[in-house]
Amino acid sequence: MPRFYIAHTPILNTRMNLPDAAAHHAARVLRLNAGDVVVLFDGSGSEWVSTINCIDKRDVEVEVHERLAVSRESPLTVTLVQGISSGDRMDYTLQKAVELGVARIQPLACARSVVKLAGERADKRRSHWQNLVIAACEQCGRNVVPEVAAVETLPNWLANSPAQPLRIMFSPDADASLHTLAKPETGVEILAGPEGGFSPDEYRSAVTAGFTPVRLGPRVLRTETAAVAALSAMQVLWGDF
């Protein structure tokens, strides 16, 4: 069934209009009709089965019938700390990370990031990424929407973020690999660099803060691949694959 995110909690046995973007997608992209069943979710962990009452090119009215407490969250709570990459690379990484169950996303402005974000431009990009995360949740069935945090530099983030029990960073020269690590009991943070990787100072700061360098096989992975590959492997080793 088509799924649509709404910013407020639906009320059972009432009628409501879908938000503009969701209405456009339902009417113009999916070409749904009156009587079709859709699912609404507000990011809190539940979903609401609803029926389209009337639909036109701009407005879609639905009636909310049933609330379901459905969890599709991974038992592995992962924060992705991702160096900002350029073009569609960052979008791809975040979209796939959501599909693979990541719980939170922290974008990093790194010394070697091709894209430089600050101020209003950083806020706009963060809003874009949050909308992309919502769309990924609509597609993959998640009812909890991961937060995209405000853009930070690595030193600022390390100084202000409480450490999770397991901190992993990617390095092609590392001795450790994922299967040599013990299964984490609670949270995991994975740190992935931008296109040019981390600067020597950033690398040393991360290691000093407790990040364990880990290699992902003998090949060097691109920035948009590394986190996705690691999340997949972690879900096999410790999660719900």
Residue 58 pLDDT level (bands cut at 50, 70, 90): confident
pLDDT confidence of residue 109: 93
CATH 2.40.240.20 domain extents, the chain = 3-68
Strand locations in the chain, DSSP E?
3-5, 15-17, 37-41, 47-55, 60-68, 78-83, 104-109, 147-148, 152-153, 166-170, 188-192, 212-214
Residue 117 pLDDT level (bands cut at 50, 70, 90): confident
For the chain, what percentages of helix, strand and coil (3-state, to nearest 5) are there?
30, 25, 45
Say whether pLDDT at 101 is over 90: yes
pLDDT confidence of residue 163: 80
The whole-number average pLDDT for the span 168-177 is 93
pLDDT confidence of residue 186: 82
- Residue pLDDT, tens place only, 181-198: 999 988 899 999 999 899
How much of the chain, in percent, has pLDDT values that exceed 90?
Answer: 85
pLDDT confidence of residue 185: 83
Residue 2 pLDDT level (bands cut at 50, 70, 90): very high
The whole-number average pLDDT for the span 113-127 is 88
- Residue pLDDT, tens place only, 26-40: 999 999 999 999 999
Bridge partners (DSSP) listed for residue 16: 62
Say whether pLDDT at 161 is over 90: no
The whole-number average pLDDT for the span 104-122 is 89
pLDDT confidence of residue 113: 87
Torsion of CA 42, 43, 48, 51, to 10 degrees: 50
The whole-number average pLDDT for the span 57-69 is 94
CATH 3.40.1280.10 domain extents, the chain = 78-237
Q: For the chain, give the mean pLDDT.
A: 94
CB 62 within 8 Å of CB 197:
no
Residue 145 pLDDT level (bands cut at 50, 70, 90): very high
- Residue pLDDT, tens place only, 126-135: 999 999 999 9
The whole-number average pLDDT for the span 6-25 is 94
CB atoms within 10 A of CB 17: 15
> What CATH architecture does domain 3-68 belong to?
Beta Barrel (2.40)
Amino acid at 144: V
Measuring CA to CA, which residue among 217, 189, 225 is closest to residue 108?
189
Name the CATH superfamily, with its identifier, for domain 78-237: SPOUT methyltransferase, trefoil knot domain (3.40.1280.10)
Measuring CA to CA, which residue among 151, 163, 208 is closest to residue 189?
163
pLDDT confidence of residue 116: 85
d(CA 78, CA 231): 9
